[in-house]
Copies of this chain bind each other. A is one copy, B any other.
Amino acid sequence: MSVAVILYHRGMSRWQPDARGRLQLAAMELYVERGFEQTTVVDIAERAGLTERTFFRHFADKREVLFLGQDELQELFVSTIAQAPDDAAPLEAVAAALQAVATEFEPRRRWSQERQRVINANPGLQERELIKLAGLSSAIAATLRDRGVDEPAASLTAESGISVFHIAFQRWIAADNTREFSQLITQSLAALKVVTAGG
């Protein structure tokens, strides 16, 4: 999500954002106003003051507006884990990646809330989100195996990391939340240790 979101935010602060940023801004506005299903690519292009052709130069379809930047998110996870000290425990390496990702997300809470509201309202988008998270988990497990972590430890650490990410994310975007994403990651990791120690 990071690159998409960076462009979106640049789009909001510059006088004339680039085409991609304007399309993303317009798409999110429309998804929130009318719903995802009720919004067409023509609507998005029109709202952004651009052509449909320009939309398709940047995005394969209207879903992609919500999922652009996922590759960069995965890359941030993988590279942070790969660069952790050799003697870091698997979950320490994953925790470092979660903190890096939380820092990246922090300025984008409102975008993250709007995006989640759109996704929650659409089962097809939820399914796509789950597939992306499953792919992220597999990539993390593969990176841990490259660090010499055996199975099933690598996959369990990866899935635990995704659970912590997912649960801390839901808490972070909650309307009444006042904590930083990073704090919520730390809390969720601590809670994970307590629940798994206690069983």
Q: Which residues in A have some Cβ–Cβ distance to B below 8 Å?
A: 89-92, 94-95, 123, 126-128, 130-131, 134, 152-153, 155-157, 159-160, 163-164, 166-168, 171, 187-189, 191-199
Closest-by-CB residue of B relative to A150 is B191
Looking at chain A's contact residues, the main secondary structure is: helix
Q: Which residues does chain B contribute within 8 Å of A127, judged by CB atoms? A: 127-128, 130-131
Partner of A90, one of B168, B188, B195: B195
Q: Which residues does chain B contribute within 8 Å of A91, judged by CB atoms? A: 195-196, 198-199
Given A123-B131, A159-B166, A163-B159, A89 and B153 touching (CB < 8 A)? no
By Cβ-Cβ distance, the 6 closest A-B pairs, closest first, are: A91-B199, A127-B127, A159-B163, A89-B198, A130-B130, A196-B196
